[in-house]
A and B are shown apart, each in its own frame.
Chain A
């Protein structure tokens, strides 16, 4: 059994889980944060992207135990109450989602892309950067548009609206 201590969306948790438990499984099953999705078993689709200590991570590639001591933000922790994060708002405004299944991962990746490029993006960069996120519904056109639009709101769009919580 692994003992995991981490904060998720600003809340501290102490949990015990099987050693082999993936971070995505811990988030979904133990913490009920089902906004983080699973779309593949080979770490290619990006439906599971969350932020670990401020960086985008595919939560299916990481053991829960490896996240011990970290601050994790999931899609549920991006907005500030009812105030949507600029990228969430941009996805709605630009119709960047259809079925919504890839959307949490897309948004979490998008925020990270904006952060790493300090809001300076063009279509080519966004398309290349989205290599690790698969969407079957939208053809990506409007996802790219949404990320470019939210990049205009840098730096607010480069992190969760609520400041990253302190590490455990």
Chain B
């Protein structure tokens, strides 16, 4: 089938994007719209003593100036975290409520203090710069170790010590015993650098208020419009959710950072009501770097115990994870996953793992591509190489000796994950062959002849894809064509194409005629959007179940039209066939018949549509292997990716072209984390040092090198369509692969450790220090 499952169908959404007709939030202009600018805090921690808005209010074009005091006066709420550990039988954490404008104490650079609404964006910005805020600066902590140090300033006075909660897994006594009898132990202190999603479309929001029927409409840069609606209506505005419609039109990438609402999303709605005009806010990149959720920022002390052959006996880890100034969005999730997946693909019988959620005077932690899985896999894969080095065995052998074998599937880890499938060693061998692992020596000699150091690595990741239930609907119209109404949300993933492929194949209807609706809370009954690589699993499975219902109902309609009993009807490739009579009807004809103005039996109800829900309670476990070779210039410290091979197990593939694109993108973000990207706050002043693309280094085309890709797909057994997620894999596998390859190149010089990002200056400094030590 040309458009069926497994085909690299070209995307139906592309035409509007390649011709400049995409419609992102900032592209929307509604009659009478006014423009908003935000005043944000220049301090990491300060008390607001006074706020003089008089000059701003009198500035040209200004319609209103809104402050934290106005928020309080209007009785608005704030933004809570999506969930806390205590909501899932976990430990009790210190719950925060984030005001949409800060009335009293700012707790991070970039906190929103006031909003100006004016006729033009430039007037709003000009007036915002006239607002005088009188701050009393307070002591701030922006790094993990400073935040948990004795006597550190508290981000929240009621939470002295800055630890909101700690999570644990495993058996400390058994771990101690395993370490005591181990032939060898290794230990690492690992920093997982603070980074940021930086979707190319900055966040934006357009709020409308209809005073006649007291309803609000929000156009939002959202991965999850129903989630925005629920939180803004219930927690901020305090209105029935029936009064709020949220539309997420074309969204220019999310990667987790647009999963949940921000203050501006609520502010534009409130401002629209206050000024009686639609209000639009379009964030700048600098505002994004400062005020969007950040990712990672974790510090781990990790230890591993093994026998003399390199079989792992136990792993111990003590982690600190920075949650920023508020518990926000699904920021708890990275902490959960960063522990749960430390065992990775290895049969490790004993663990003792702990992480602490630490408040810092920084932008909050959110979910960013991988959310905790990259942290977990980084820990175990760095430990495995450290073990191999200690024992003088190859990184290949040390992994081979520890893989969970297929015979042990389903395999339950000591942290409670249950892997249904996975042929780790077979996939591993495929990756080594793809990368020509055995031919490395010749390539290294060639590099050395050019004065370059060459190192290699092999890293294996596994991840947890899919979370929460969702609902998908298939709705035919009287002309016999069908529309998918998706609870998930595509912001680059190509759902309009992939889901239509599924439906076209299952129902035997033409791909080109399938409609697709998402991202509008008035059109789609309920949905949870897209994050956590959930949509192929949950959206796809729900769609399959909805398709099953369509076929069932279609069978009854066909039986009625063909004058036979429903159990005489078979369905295949779009045709309902009455076995006894050989007469048949196509799905399209059945759909048209279901809309007949007369004669449709009442028990059928008018029309043909079905909705179905897939629970999503059981995730799937994409896994794969990255083999990396780096070349390093010892004189400059510059690292080049000389060769890279990826083999993934993503289960059943709906559209291989889209899957490949997802892996590419994840990989680039993983490469960014390993080599380039770092959100840095000055430890003394709490100022954001990396506030623009000048200082925050995004991967460019020339940072990426040759790439070989292959698959070793094992269909997932726990969902009806056999898929596994693919969106986060690259971002999880790349950081340990790259760092291990760099260390492989540098160990002969005496460099034992490096943290991410391995920038030229860091690599150069490590080489220089090792040379000094050797001299």
**Chain A positions near chain B (C-beta within 8 angstroms):** 18, 20, 28-29, 32-42, 44-45, 47, 74-76, 78-79, 84, 88-89, 91-93, 95, 97-104, 107, 126-128, 130-131, 133-144
Contacts and interface: CB of A to CB of B under 8 A. Distances in A.
Contacts of A93: 10
Sorting the interface of chain B by its residue count into under 10, 10 to 19, 20 to 34 or 35 or more gives 35 or more
A92 B20 contact: no
Given A34-B24, A98-B661, 11 more contacts: A37-B252, A42-B692, A78-B19, A95-B657, A98-B665, A99-B250, A100-B17, A100-B22, A128-B701, A134-B698, A136-B698
Contacts of B22: 35, 100-101, 103
Contacts of B700: 130-131, 134, 140
Given A35-B20, A40-B285, A101-B252, A47 B14 contact: no
B664 A92 contact: no
A47 B122 contact: no
26 contacts: A34-B27, A37-B252, A39-B285, A42-B286, A78-B20, A92-B11, A98-B253, A98-B493, A99-B199, A99-B252, A99-B492, A100-B13, A100-B18, A101-B22, A101-B201, A101-B252, A103-B22, A104-B17, A126-B701, A127-B702, A137-B492, A138-B665, A138-B668, A140-B668, A140-B704, A141-B704
B667 interface: yes
B665 to A, nearest CB: 5
A141 B707 contact: yes
Contacts of B555: none
Contact of A127 (B21, B251, B701, B730): B701
Contacts of B492: 98-100, 137
Contact of A139 (B17, B201, B664): B664
Given A42-B694, A131-B700, A99 B14 contact: no
In this complex, the member of A78, A95, A107, A137 whose beta carbon has the largest number of chain B beta carbons within 10 angstroms is A137
Given A47-B200, A91-B18, A140-B668, A133 B494 contact: no
B692 A131 contact: no
A91 B692 contact: no
Given A34-B27, A39-B201, A140 B701 contact: yes
Nearest to B199: A136
A44 B694 contact: yes
A127 B284 CA distance: 27
A133 B701 contact: yes
Nearest to B15: A92
B332 interface: no
Contacts of A91: 14, 18
B706 to A, nearest CB: 9
B669 interface: yes
A51 B700 CA distance: 22
A99 B25 CA distance: 13
Contacts of B658: 95
Interface string B622-653: 00000000000000000000000000000000
A101 B253 contact: yes
Given A97-B18, A98-B492, A142 B201 contact: no
A104 B21 CA distance: 10
In this complex, the member of B23, B200, B252, B284 whose beta carbon has the largest number of chain A beta carbons within 10 angstroms is B200
B10 A92 contact: yes
B177 interface: no
Contacts of A141: 664, 704, 707
A98 B202 contact: no
Contact of B18 (A40, A74, A84, A126): A84
B693 A136 contact: no
Nearest to A44: B693
B19 A144 contact: no
A84 B19 contact: yes
Interface string B241-259: 0000000001111010000
Given A74-B20, A92-B15, A100-B22, A39 B122 contact: no
